[in-house]
Amino acid sequence: MHQSRRVIVQNCQGYTLLEALFSFTVFVLLSQILILVFLWIQNMNTSFFSNEEAAWELFVQDIQYYFVNVEELKVSNDTKTMEVFYADPKATKKINRSGDALRLLINNQGNIPLLLGIKSVSFRKDGDFAIISVIFQNGIEKERGFFVQTTLK
């Protein structure tokens, strides 16, 4: 049962400098891989649809509905308002910007928000096309042309 002091000293296994360097190397490699994975995930989040792009596509679907059976389409001189007139003289719709929202006024009453979070908007009329250009708060620019078949008397 009794061991000599010499045997005890020879059997002591401690944490050597070589093991410490190996552990440090493994830690550095794993941290680099973790950073690369984090950057890749962040890049993937920006490459998919952002909230603004999804809101824009929903807006496009909604606004196309308002350009059916139109009698006349007018764009203001400052290109900030678009008015849509229908065969019924009481049926008019006005689309303009109010604060950071694009809103719809039906017969000059009510404010129905169509698109939120915009910095600026401009409307143009090019023949039978109504062109809407929007710049969002985060700098994303979107533009779409809508075919509007007008029926003038």
pLDDT at 29: 93
pLDDT digits (tens, 9 = 90+) for 34-57: 999 988 888 776 655 567 888 888
The closest of 139, 137, 133 to 63, measured between CA atoms, is 133
Q: Which of 49, 58, 96, 100 is nearest to 74 (CA)?
A: 96
Average the pLDDT over 98-113 and give the result. Answer: 86
How do residues 130-145 score in pLDDT, each as one tens digit? 899 999 888 888 999 9
Q: What is the rounded CA–CA span in Å between residue 83 and residue 72?
A: 8
* Cα 45 to Cα 39: distance, rounded to the nearest angstrom: 10
What's the rounded Cα separation, in Å, for the pair 143 and 129?
Answer: 12
Contact 70, 84 (CB under 8 A): yes
